Amino acid sequence: MKKRVIVLEAEGGADKWIDGHRRDTMPIVNAIKAKGYESEVIFFRDEWIDEIFNYIYDNADAVVVRINPGNLPNGEGKLFEMLRQLHDSDVLIMTHPNTMMRFGAKDALAKLADTDLVPDDTYSYYTVEEFEKTFPKSISYGTRVLKQNRGSTGSGIWRVEIVDSKLGEYEAGDTLPMDTVVKCTEAVDNHVEYSSLGKFMKFCHQYIEGDNGMLVDMRFMPRIVEGEIRILMVGENPIFAVHKKPVQEKDAFSATIASGAEYTYYKPEEYPELVNKFVDAIPLISDKLGKIKNTPIIWTGDFMLDTDENGNDTFVLGEMNCSCVGFFSHLDMGIQEKMADEIIRRIEVRKAS
């Protein structure tokens, strides 16, 4: 065992501080060192892939990936190729590309639609044909939310509600005509557009076409106006819960900071029912998403309030994130130490097996 962990970053980008690193990167490195391991940061470039591979293979037990996908000019293809090769060469990758993609993709919701985490009328569209066939019917049941696979901070997430249908009195389950008037609100900034159903659906084709294109279609949760609860996890351990309340304005439903949402932080034990439900569901989530052995090293689950048939509060999973969850504003919570503990635990478990 080399007892060395390399933290991998990308150069540049809006997530960097004055030292050229993410603000949470060096705290992770220093926490690993404090546990008796060596650690350093190196930068990834496509053209350096062979040199980086050899350096990591020769010098490290594990790699911790702290790269915002938007900071790689040519995308993640070469990075993921190298990480998979390192994994096959017995270097522990945190987080492995397959895990990152399966936990972070929006279609994880559709894959969990037969669990009590997600409504069973949640669909994923991988082709324009599927979208054109199903969405005009699914929206007849009520307001829907469409989520693109790509994008972040609410970009390409639309609440779609019927304003007027030429069918007049239609029933749930009817396929609505393309000239149905719909009101569309985008989560990125809560702006509203009115359109015909056909025109809006044609606009949405861009989210389906191309590499990794896909749309998720799920029921709108009206209680999103009360806020969204995010649970931040290190491995299988809950670190905190944050209540993200949308700005109290007409049509607002986005819970992102950019849209003006208010964030309030809580200890996990202050949301015991939700936290226990999420933690207990991890084996099921991992199985449904492809029999994943290890969760992401740091990740989040976002939940919305709903009401069950008995009038009791319940929670619906709306999204998971794991590509590069940041925590620089919460360094006083000791997240970096908890990450270091989990990183070293995984290294030693693997080496012992």
pLDDT in tens, 256-303: 555 566 888 999 999 999 999 999 999 999 999 999 989 999 999 999
Closest of 218, 90, 89 to residue 142, by C-alpha: 218
Q: What is the mean pLDDT of residues 27-32?
A: 97
pLDDT (0 to 100) of residue 341: 97
Tell me which of 339 and 155 has the higher pLDDT: 339
CA-to-CA distance for 238 and 280, rounded, in angstroms?
11
Q: What is the mean pLDDT of residues 123-142?
A: 96
Q: What is the mean pLDDT of residues 131-158?
A: 89
> At the top level of CATH, which class does the domain 119-221 belong to?
alpha beta
pLDDT (0 to 100) of residue 247: 64
CATH of domain 103-109+223-327: 3.30.470.20
Give tens-digit pLDDT for 140-152.
999 999 999 866 6
- Give the CATH number of domain 4-95+337-352; options: 1.10.10, 1.10.238, 2.30.30, 3.40.50: 3.40.50
pLDDT (0 to 100) of residue 249: 59
Tell me which of 188 and 61 has the higher pLDDT: 61
Q: Is the pLDDT of residue 255 over 80?
A: no
Q: Is the pLDDT of residue 326 over 70?
A: yes
pLDDT (0 to 100) of residue 248: 62
Quickly state the pLDDT bin for 69 (edges 50, 70, 90): confident
Q: Is the pLDDT of residue 167 over 80?
A: no
Domain ranges in the chain are: 4-95+337-352, 103-109+223-327, 119-221
Q: What is the mean pLDDT of residues 229-245?
A: 93
Q: Which residues of 50-63 are buried (b: 16+ CB within 10 A; e: fewer)?
A: eebbeebeeebbbb
Q: Is the pLDDT of residue 328 over 90?
A: no
Q: Is the pLDDT of residue 64 over 80?
A: yes
**Picking from 24-38, 123-137, 138-152, 202-216, which range would have the lowest pLDDT averaged per residue?**
138-152
- pLDDT averaged over every residue in the chain: 91
pLDDT (0 to 100) of residue 79: 96
Long-range Cβ pairs for the range 82-89 (8 Å, 24+) = 82/44, 82/49, 82/52, 82/53, 85/53, 86/53, 86/56, 86/57, 89/57
pLDDT (0 to 100) of residue 299: 96
> Cis peptide before 134, with omega less than 30 degrees from 0?
no
Q: Is the pLDDT of residue 254 over 60?
A: no
